[in-house]
Structure 1
Amino acid sequence: MASYRKQILISVTIVASIFQFGMSYSFRNCIERPGSYHRNFTCIKRLEQTINAIVGDIPASATTLTISDCTLVNIPPQSFSHLPELRTLLLTNNHMRYIQEDGFANLRYLRTLNLSSNYIVSLNSYMFHDLQNLSKLILADNRLKNISSDSFSSLSKLQFLDLRKNELMNFSAVVHSISNLKELKSLDISSNKLVTLYHSDRLPQSLSCLYLGNNMLTTLECRNDSLSSVKVLDLSFNTRLSNQAFFGLNLSNLTYLRLRSTNISIVTLLNQTKGMMTWYIDFSGLGLTEPQMVASLCKQLSYYPNKYIKRILLQKNKLKGLNNNTLSDCPRITNVLDLSFNELKSTNCLQFLEGQKYLAKLIVEHNHFTRLINCKNHTRFFHLKELSYRYNRILEVSPFAFSHAPKLTTLKLNINIIAYLDHKALNGLKDLVILRLDNNLLTDLYNDSFKDLHSLQTLNLRNNQISVIFNNTFYFLRNLSILDLGGNKIAHLMPLAFEGLDSLKNLYLDRNRLGKIDGQLIGSLHRTLQVLDLQGNFIRYKTDYARSPFVNLTKLTDLKLDGQRPYGITLLPHAFFRGLTSLKSLYLTNNRISSLSSDTFDDLKNLTFLTLDDSCVGVAQLKPGIFKNLQKLEILTVENMGIGSFSKEVFGNLTGLKKLNLNKNTMQTLDVDLLENLTNLQYLDVRGTPLSCNCPNSELQNWTKNERVQIVYLYNLTCPDVKGSYFYNFDNHVCSDFGVYWFASTYVVTLVLTLLPLLYVKLYWKFKYGYYVFRSWFGEQWRRLREEEERCTYDAFISYNSADEAWVMEQLLPNLEGSGFRLCLHHRDFEPGRNIVDNIVAAVYNSRKTVCVVSQNFLRSEWCSLEIQLASYRLFDEMQDVLLLVFLEYIHERQLSAYHRMRKVMLKKTYIQWPGVDCTDPNKARELFWKQLKRALRSSNSKSQDEEQVDENDQNEQQQDDQAQMDDEPYYLMP
């Protein structure tokens, strides 16, 4: 039994010495992104007036920092100098007006700086001088009027510069400021007040993208080769810009030109700029209102040597129609034709694409189509893969409406007013993969509506007027993986509604009118279904006993049941989630569950995310053991649940929990022991919870000052019972137990003083007799201990660090073993093959004394620390005088503060200092050292009180004699 206790003691000592870490932390004005390991921080809508007040407590490891929607006015010097690892800094939507010198000092690794949506008026050279590695700078939506010539001189690695939505008027000054940026690729000066592009300096050769839209340009006024390296040029919404601006310009490298809403005649421009690569021109908003204008454009394009063009954009030209031969003269269009935002009323089965049979994608969104006609006997376009009719006014889709495009893979008919989809409207689309019919007025689906769509994988029917899903509606969709029926009026699902959906993974039935979950119907999808969305329906149960509708859905990973109407799920039947063994995410927010039984979540052993926000009636009490099987749960949100207690019986098994939201509940205290047992917890939100600022929470307050769990906005948590005070610093000094101890002590003393006279009179002789009996018994015990001591194998076990082995072998060993002492040394006397901890225990307990040779190396040794703690256990707990401390070198008391056991020994016992070479007489001092050490080794481990007093007097006399001999050298230090 004694050996077992020793093993436990050693194990506890090792664990305590190794696992020393804090428990929680918080930031005054920022939130760390959970799981970012002190790297990603967000500070939004804070009322502090200075940068330092907001980010002063952010750790130096931060790499991403967002400060947004605050009232900051300026950036003082050294604002972020304590964050040298920052890579991304977002300072958006504040009231920033000034950036002082060294405002971004020490941010040498910063890559992205966003200062958009502020009130910055000017830029100076000192603002960015320490940002040598900055590659992206965003200054959009400010009030910039002037940019000094050296504003960006230190940003040698800048690649993207955004100056949109400012008040810049001088393009030459902008060019001058960026002329030395050898790596600049993109410059955006859109939405400023530029009138001309005149500039004296050259644009950087690396600049490939130049955005100048929405200015007041009337002319470019730049040299012929000024834009020769530019590949992407945006001049849109400069309404006064005319063709004359391009006379003589070299645009040979241009790959994309945007001229929307300008005063330019594109046909004339094409004549002027023969070297331009025209297949990347955006022809949107150029006033091509008639088919003849488009035809003229095509004819002009046909004169160029290239026989194909990847895309043509003809948006916002107010086109009302296209003839069959409108595009016939165009070079072959291989990728995209975009006719969106026009006034087209009919596509006439795409006959205007005559001669463009290689087109892959046609976009005709935001037009005025009202009907898609039958196209069965029209020209077929076998290369057309994607067709989009979104944002039109289509009311009816006729049979064989897409027979002219039999190879379609993507068809978008969403955001129309389609009320009638003919049985054969989608006939022939055997290669279709994605079909969008959402946001229409469909009321009925037929069992042959999707008959030919054998390759369909995604079908979106969200936000229509469908009320019933009939049998075999999706029978032919064997490859369908995503079916979205959300936002309809579905109140009834026929028994074979989902028949044939052999590959379905995601089923969305949210915001319908389902009154119950048909377990047999949903269960027919058990082989493949992974996501089931049922939120916002009318699901309710009136009895606690109902068979689980999910019992067969063993592959389901995501289930949403939140927000059932009109009052939510008020009762969850017994074992409601039985069978969901693979479920990872469960949503139950916005319900009014009156009670959750202790076995509600028993089957959800793989659950990682659970939200129960706003799902209670009145004050909820979670049942003990309700989360007992959720060891893999990582995120739990129980906001506004009315939870009154945070107990181990409820939350104790959530050992995998990383994020816990307890805000807006009624708890007045949190169990600190339970929080410490949640060893993976990283994020705790208790905002809006009335934690009391009194003694029951004193331990919780201390727990919040350590470092492992982020407590969201801890410094904003107020005391509900003390107006104007805060939880983190409420006065807890009155919570100590000193008053209780003092009362108990004085009570006992008073009681004893009252009883002593009575006991003296009545029981004097009996006490005297008992005293002599006890003295006889104590003497017997002492003699027994002396006999045990004599049976020890060694006189002393020498504990030392290997770095001090030379002193032990050359000094200690000859002096002690030469005097007849039996010493135990680990390299010589430990049993080979035995566990090292067992050897240490045996050495300490088989030796009369343990001599610790203390040095700097000794303090750094884990094994030496174990040996001295074990010996001090015998000293303090077993009352055995076994420990001797020998200091080889001077060690300041400050260095021993972390070794509380050693300091406790020093306060209780004399310790010995090995004399150094700098003393007055080293030989005499060392002779005295060995004399004192041998005397200590010969002393008994256990003594009677009288003997201890005699020995103490003898020792004091001897020390006085020795002291006189040593010429006042302090080799023996008394506590």
Structure 2
Amino acid sequence: MGHQKSRLKHLIIFLLFTIDCFVVQGFTLRSCRISGNKAICSPSKKLKEVPTDIPPTVESIDLSNNKILKLQEGNFIDFPYLTNLDLKQNKITKIGKGTFSRLFSLKTLNLNNNTLENLDDGVFDGLSNLTELRISTNRIETVAPDAFRSLTNLEIFVFSFNQLRTSKQIGLIIKHMPHLTQLHLHHNHIQTFNSSDLTNKPTGITLLDISGNPIKLFQITTNVFPNLTNLNVGNPPMTVAMIWDVPDKAMLAKVDTLDVSRVTMGGSAKMWDLLSTFNTSLVTLTINSMHYNLRTLINKSCSIPTVSTLKLGQNNLFYISSSLFEICTNVTEIVLSKLDRNKLQTVPSAISNLRSLNKLDLSNNSIESLGCNDFANLTLLQYLSLPWNKITTLSACVFQHLPKLRVLQLQGNSLSNISNAFTTHLPNLNLLRLNQNSLTTLENGTFRGLPSLQHLFLYQNRINNNIDRKIFQTFQDLVNLQNLTLANNHINYRRFTPMKHPPFMNLSKLNYLNLQSQHRRGKSKLPSNFLQGLTNLSTLILRNMQLTGIPEEFFIHMPNLDSLDLNSNDLMDISPNLFSPIPNITKLRISDINLRSLDFLTEANLTKLKFLQARKNAFPVISEEIIRSMPSLRYIDLEFSSFICDCDSADFIKWIKKSNQTQVFNAYNFKCYYPSNQKNKMLLDLNVQSCMIDIGFICFTFTTCVNLLFLVASLTYHFMRFQLAYAYYIFLAWLYDRKNKSSQAPSQYDAFVSYNVHDEAWVYRELVPRLEKQQGWKLCLHHRDFEPGKRRPIVDNITDAIYGSRKTLCVISRRYLQSEWCSREMQVASFRLFDESKDVLILVFLEDIPSCHLSPYYRMRRVLKRQTYLSWPGEGPEVHVFWEKLRQALTTKKCVEYPPLWKEICLHNDL
């Protein structure tokens, strides 16, 4: 019994532990969205505090452009993988001690553009692995001595646009940063920069930017910067003569990049002393907005044998003489640009003197035309930048001297005709920018001379080639092109009819094509084979083309398409067959196209889709079938859709809250549009519990009922199986009696003998000879009198035999008590006894059986034994008495002779 209890206990424990009771937190966030491993907390909400629902597994958090006022301990307590934290452009005035103490993995921290005024001790405790810290554009004037004590691994420190005033303050900061390599302190209020105030030992700083400070004295008297390679002391906020005090030039011997823009030294001789400090190492020199004679300054600069890059922007140059760069034989890069401060109207002829030049920047000038010899002698030039000038046309000979040119930038001009400028001469050109000009047509062979071109930008022009002109074959020669941008032009087609000569037929290497925003009146269509030949295309942008439809075979030529943008068109409905040729697509944008349903997704077979943007549409419901059709979905944007707030949205709401795979962008701001009484209420606030079929509860109820039924059945079988069997056969006997009572014939036998097969020897040796041969009774025996081959149940045979005999004689032994069929025979006979009030049951015990061995089947029999039962004596004189009593039992009429009321009393008294 104890073993059974133990097993039951273990079973209950097992069942309890197999019921999974846990809370699943959805992937949808209230204030942020997840992109890769980065949490981007949207500035549109202008958060005032750090959100609490950011997943702890993110590696980067962007909280920029919000209204966070303060940071405190507890804001960032559970981000073990966080390496980047961006808090720029908030209104942070205070950072509490311990705020970052749990960010052990943080590498980059950005606190730019806030309103911090001071930094207390230990404010950055816990950031021992931080390598980059930016605190620019604050109001920091005082810094506690141990504010940066934990930043022992910091490499980049940006502290610009604050209010530091002395180099001693700088020393208090960098003393905690033994691994510092970049120090940015531009635009503070530092007037004296003295190396002796910083530290008494060498540092690893390679970049020092103290530009924009009103420095009056720059003094290096200790070897603090033995590794410095980049020094910027330019752009002081006012005209103040700076004293340069570097007695030992070896202390800055590794500086190769120097910016002294706008610096005044009290005379050109002192400026030359400054430049001579770097006479053996300087490579790049920036001298923008200078107040000295530019020719003299350039000549002195170019006399430094190592200088190869000159930046001369913002010098108000209208004209450059042809001899200006005569001695600059080693210069390979020159920049004459910057915000209209240089106003060159032609390409300076002096440029031709720079035969080693490989990079030339003439952007933001007023150049109106290019001549055939403007770039003569620049055979090594690889980079030419001419954007934001006023160039209107290009002649065929402009680039004839630039065989090695790889990058050409002509954007932002007024080009309307490029003639034959690109039909020859530029075999190595890799990138060409012609965007933001006034081009109206591109004819065949325009780019014939650009076999190596990979990136072509033609957006924001007026290109209006139409299928009817049959000349849109411009790109057939660009066999290596990979990136083509034709956005914001006037390309337009009126029908789906296939083209005879598709424009991109030879661009088998193209992987990016942008055709968005074609500005023509009226709706547009695209020929069904418009994209034929783009077998390697992975990204296609057809946004805002006013398309009214797309042929089902449109994408058949691009099996590798990965990203498709159909935003802002008038498609209304999309056929699922449209996506059959592109089953590998992972990013789909279908916002603002008047979609009335997303049901097409159920048949589109987009099983690899990870990103779906479908905002600003008219579908009211997202069904469960739609959700299941995108098993790989990670991000979905359905903002500004016309959601219906009733039970039809129950599955969608439940999915938003429970999905830990798919992020539903800004779901907590989804608003109801229907019905009218729910309009402008939040979708996720809708109570849909009454709509849902609680499958979990149903399963729980069902399994509970099954378990209880099983338990009741098991207990009933164990404790009452005999009573149930008894009741069953009593019921069968009752049915038989009810059926045959009115037509009952005289008994065929005097007695039916019920015995076990193991007692058959005694029956045939003792009972049958004595009762049939000597006393003349007619007995019914199983094996002898049951009709052979009778196609009826055995129970019916037993019932016929008992009701066909006057009495039933049960030969009882231990074997008999264990026999199922014997018990059934006794049960039928017992029912006949009660039903007919006749003494029809005779019990003969062949052996003594203790009452404890009698099963529940025979509790009634034990009572009946008091009335009529016999025990077989075995041997001796009692045998004759036994047979005599048996004869009397077969002939007695006892209770049957009484009237009906007394029959029952008689039977009960005998019991």
For normalisation by structure 1, the TM-score amounts to 0.63
Q: Alpha carbons of 1:570 and 1:705: their partners in 2 closer, same or farther (altered >3 Å)?
A: same
Amino acid at match of 2:356: H
Deviations 1:750-783 (A, max 9, x none): xxxxxxxxxxxxxxxxxxxxxxxxxxxxxxxxxx
**Partners of 1:340 and 1:365 within 8 A in 2:** yes
| Residue in structure 1 matching 2:668, options 708, 715, 720 | 715
Q: CA deviation at 1:320?
A: 7.3
Between the aligned partners of 1:453 and 1:642, the Cα distance in structure 2 is 46
Q: CA deviation at 1:680?
A: 0.6
Q: CA deviation at 1:723?
A: 4.9
Q: Alpha carbons of 1:730 and 1:643: their partners in 2 closer, same or farther (altered >3 Å)?
A: same
**Partners of 1:140 and 1:163 within 8 A in 2:** yes
Between the aligned partners of 2:693 and 2:394, the Cα distance in structure 1 is 80
Between the aligned partners of 1:905 and 1:689, the Cα distance in structure 2 is 46
Q: CA deviation at 1:666?
A: 1.2
Q: Alpha carbons of 1:182 and 1:904: their partners in 2 closer, same or farther (altered >3 Å)?
A: farther
Q: CA deviation at 1:23?
A: 11
Between the aligned partners of 1:701 and 1:228, the Cα distance in structure 2 is 63
Between the aligned partners of 2:88 and 2:291, the Cα distance in structure 1 is 38
Between the aligned partners of 1:311 and 1:526, the Cα distance in structure 2 is 36
Which residue matches 1:262?
263
Amino acid at match of 1:277: F
| Residue in structure 2 matching 1:369, options 344, 364, 377 | 344
Give 3-state SS (helix, strand or coil) of 1:625's partner: helix
Between the aligned partners of 2:219 and 2:455, the Cα distance in structure 1 is 55
Q: CA deviation at 1:704?
A: 1.5
Between the aligned partners of 1:133 and 1:458, the Cα distance in structure 2 is 40
Between the aligned partners of 2:475 and 2:283, the Cα distance in structure 1 is 48
Q: Alpha carbons of 1:174 and 1:911: their partners in 2 closer, same or farther (altered >3 Å)?
A: farther
Which residue matches 2:404?
431
Tell me, yes or no, if structure 1 residue 727 matches structure 2 residue 683. yes
**Partners of 1:46 and 1:71 within 8 A in 2:** no
Between the aligned partners of 1:400 and 1:275, the Cα distance in structure 2 is 36
Q: CA deviation at 1:207?
A: 4.5
Which residue matches 1:613?
567
**Partners of 1:443 and 1:465 within 8 A in 2:** yes
**Partners of 2:221 and 2:246 within 8 A in 1:** no
Deviations 1:859-895 (A, max 9, x none): xxxxxxxxxxxxxxxxxxxxxxxxxxxxxxxxxxxxx
Q: CA deviation at 1:465?
A: 4.0
Which residue matches 2:381?
408
Q: Show the 5 A alignment for 1:333-372.
A: 333=306, 335-349=308-322, 351-365=323-337, 367-372=342-347
Amino acid at match of 1:189: L
Which residue matches 1:387?
360
Q: Alpha carbons of 1:435 and 1:120: their partners in 2 closer, same or farther (altered >3 Å)?
A: closer
Give 3-state SS (helix, strand or coil) of 2:627's partner: helix
Which residue matches 2:208?
210
**Partners of 2:463 and 2:491 within 8 A in 1:** no
Which residue matches 2:494?
542
Between the aligned partners of 1:692 and 1:646, the Cα distance in structure 2 is 14
Which residue matches 1:28?
30
Amino acid at match of 2:216: T
Which residue matches 2:871?
none
Most deviating of 621-630 and 243-252: 243-252
Q: Alpha carbons of 1:107 and 1:604: their partners in 2 closer, same or farther (altered >3 Å)?
A: same
Between the aligned partners of 1:148 and 1:596, the Cα distance in structure 2 is 65
**Partners of 1:194 and 1:215 within 8 A in 2:** yes
Give 3-state SS (helix, strand or coil) of 2:708's partner: helix
**Partners of 2:444 and 2:472 within 8 A in 1:** no
List alignment gaps of at least 5 residues for structure 2: 1-17, 733-819, 821-851, 857-911
Q: Alpha carbons of 1:599 and 1:462: their partners in 2 closer, same or farther (altered >3 Å)?
A: closer
Amino acid at match of 1:310: V
Deviations 1:310-339 (A, max 9, x none): 344332225777489946981435522333
Q: Alpha carbons of 1:724 and 1:82: their partners in 2 closer, same or farther (altered >3 Å)?
A: farther
Most deviating of 662-671 and 159-168: 159-168
Tell me, yes or no, if structure 1 residue 110 matches structure 2 residue 106. yes
Give 3-state SS (helix, strand or coil) of 1:411's partner: strand
Q: CA deviation at 1:88?
A: 0.7
Which residue matches 1:910?
711
Amino acid at match of 1:735: C
Bigger Rg over Cα: 2
Q: Alpha carbons of 1:659 and 1:266: their partners in 2 closer, same or farther (altered >3 Å)?
A: farther
Q: CA deviation at 1:945?
A: 9.8
Between the aligned partners of 1:323 and 1:176, the Cα distance in structure 2 is 41
Between the aligned partners of 2:348 and 2:169, the Cα distance in structure 1 is 58
Tell me, yes or no, if structure 1 residue 417 matches structure 2 residue 369. no
Which residue matches 2:757?
none
Q: CA deviation at 1:428?
A: 3.6
Q: Show the 5 A alignment for 1:207-246.
A: 207-208=204-205, 209-219=207-217, 224=222, 230-238=228-236, 239=238, 242=241, 244=243, 246=245
Between the aligned partners of 1:462 and 1:719, the Cα distance in structure 2 is 43
Between the aligned partners of 1:569 and 1:58, the Cα distance in structure 2 is 44
**Partners of 2:93 and 2:116 within 8 A in 1:** yes
Give 3-state SS (helix, strand or coil) of 1:352's partner: coil
Give 3-state SS (helix, strand or coil) of 1:626's partner: helix
Give 3-state SS (helix, strand or coil) of 2:45's partner: coil
Deviations 1:51-99 (A, max 9, x none): 2xx2x11121111001022221111211110222211111111111111
Q: Alpha carbons of 1:944 and 1:88: their partners in 2 closer, same or farther (altered >3 Å)?
A: farther
Give 3-state SS (helix, strand or coil) of 2:133's partner: strand
Between the aligned partners of 2:272 and 2:534, the Cα distance in structure 1 is 69
Give 3-state SS (helix, strand or coil) of 1:559's partner: strand
Amino acid at match of 1:552: M
Amino acid at match of 1:260: S
For normalisation by structure 2, the TM-score amounts to 0.67
Between the aligned partners of 1:673 and 1:41, the Cα distance in structure 2 is 30
Which residue matches 1:701?
653
Q: Show the 5 A alignment for 1:291-306.
A: none
Most deviating of 106-115 and 352-361: 352-361
Which residue matches 1:662?
614
**Partners of 2:539 and 2:561 within 8 A in 1:** yes
The aligned length equals: 702
Q: Show the 5 A alignment for 1:818-857.
A: none
| Residue in structure 2 matching 1:72, options 68, 72, 76 | 68
Between the aligned partners of 1:431 and 1:210, the Cα distance in structure 2 is 35
**Partners of 1:168 and 1:192 within 8 A in 2:** yes
**Partners of 2:429 and 2:452 within 8 A in 1:** yes
Q: Alpha carbons of 1:314 and 1:77: their partners in 2 closer, same or farther (altered >3 Å)?
A: closer
**Partners of 1:97 and 1:118 within 8 A in 2:** yes
Between the aligned partners of 1:62 and 1:27, the Cα distance in structure 2 is 13
Which residue matches 1:180?
176
**Partners of 1:462 and 1:485 within 8 A in 2:** yes
**Partners of 1:179 and 1:203 within 8 A in 2:** no
**Partners of 2:202 and 2:224 within 8 A in 1:** no
Q: Alpha carbons of 1:95 and 1:432: their partners in 2 closer, same or farther (altered >3 Å)?
A: closer
Between the aligned partners of 1:124 and 1:70, the Cα distance in structure 2 is 23
**Partners of 1:23 and 1:709 within 8 A in 2:** no
Tell me, yes or no, if structure 1 residue 332 matches structure 2 residue 305. yes
Tell me, yes or no, if structure 1 residue 684 matches structure 2 residue 636. yes
Deviations 1:401-451 (A, max 9, x none): 333333333333333223455554444433333333443344444447764
Q: Alpha carbons of 1:21 and 1:465: their partners in 2 closer, same or farther (altered >3 Å)?
A: same
Amino acid at match of 2:473: L
Give 3-state SS (helix, strand or coil) of 1:909's partner: helix
Aligned alpha-carbon RMSD (Å) = 4.5
Q: CA deviation at 1:241?
A: 5.3
Between the aligned partners of 1:424 and 1:201, the Cα distance in structure 2 is 58
Amino acid at match of 2:261: R
**Partners of 1:225 and 1:249 within 8 A in 2:** no
Between the aligned partners of 1:949 and 1:21, the Cα distance in structure 2 is 54
Give 3-state SS (helix, strand or coil) of 1:128's partner: coil
Q: Alpha carbons of 1:518 and 1:643: their partners in 2 closer, same or farther (altered >3 Å)?
A: same
Q: Alpha carbons of 1:587 and 1:203: their partners in 2 closer, same or farther (altered >3 Å)?
A: farther
Q: Show the 5 A alignment for 1:741-820.
A: none
